Amino acid sequence: MGFDAGSPYGRARASVSRIPGPRSGALRGVALAGARGDNWAVLRVIFLGTSSARPTVSRNTSALAVQREGDLHLFDCGEGTQRQMMCYGVGFNVQDIYISHMHADHYLGVIGLLRTMSLQGREQGMRIFTPRVGVSVLRQAIGLELEELPFPVDIRRLSPGERVRHAGYTIHAFRADHPGGANGYVLKEDDRPGRFYPERARRLGVPEGPLFGRLQRGEAVELNDGQTVEPDQVMGPARPGRSLVYTGDTRPSTATVEAANGCDLLIHEATFAEEETERAERTGHSTAKQAGRIACRAGVRKLVLTHLSARYSERPFVLEREARRVCSDGCPVTVAYDGLTVEVPLRDA
């Protein structure tokens, strides 16, 4: 089952210029290894909240902003998320919100965010995707507001295996292993056209100019002598798009390995260190070591750890060290902090 991004509620657009690059004392960016290639489209992740059940002085509760070209999505929306969006320069033109599960530290900020958008005069509709139980909970929570919102809010169930179609990419849910029912989410881009070889086109008599562009867009062209040139005569094989995976809260699971197989960026929760393995299992969470093993099994290009217990808020190196020890294949590991920005480049292959 899938959903089309073109809903009757209109399409909220994000302004690229409103999500700045690194700022002194605030954002520090991490770029994944790789080449941008041609037809570059921004795929950027901004960590708005990286703490677990409760905020700390330096870390807010769970929220992640993902910008894909002009689209802006939120994954989880813990309390105070709208303030974090202002602190880190993320615009409020959010298209969709994807909630991983219905624990308060992952959805409570929705109420305040919608109210802020209302006060700013938003008219475009908002879609919120959630596991099954979240539909009724969110409707009741939003209904607590005494003043009716000036824009429609469409709350939809998104079950594992279902996907939302956007222009050039999809977002689909997979089953996370956490009490009460939880989703993880995968953003996967469509394959890109193969590399264009202008020398091949010239040898076939194609003049430089508009016909080059049509071939690169996958269109056959007819020359003055009546010859037809097909795109596959001048283009290489299709190249893979990028993908990122956000687990939300979860125990280590085979479903995550399958969802993250070969992905460019895995954002995995790491609530505890190895010393709390039993507690992690009991509460439905992962240790940093377990997250590292998942990343290795999935063959991901980069692992970012988030959802830290308050005890590790000021010493995240403990978790990073544990994950690095099991990433024997050299997969880079980073522990997220509020304001961290990660840009995912196109693969050059």
The catalytic residues are: 105
**What sign does the dihedral 324-184-97-148 (CA atoms) show?**
negative
Q: Are 14 and 71 in contact (CB under 8 A)?
A: yes
Between vectors from CA 331 to CA 164 and to CA 62, what angle results, nearest 5°? 45
Q: Are 137 and 210 in contact (CB under 8 A)?
A: no
- Of 68, 44, 64, the C-alpha closest to 337 is 64
Gap between the Cα atoms of 182 and 247, Å rounded:
9
Tokens in use for 333?
């590991």
Strand partners for 154: 127
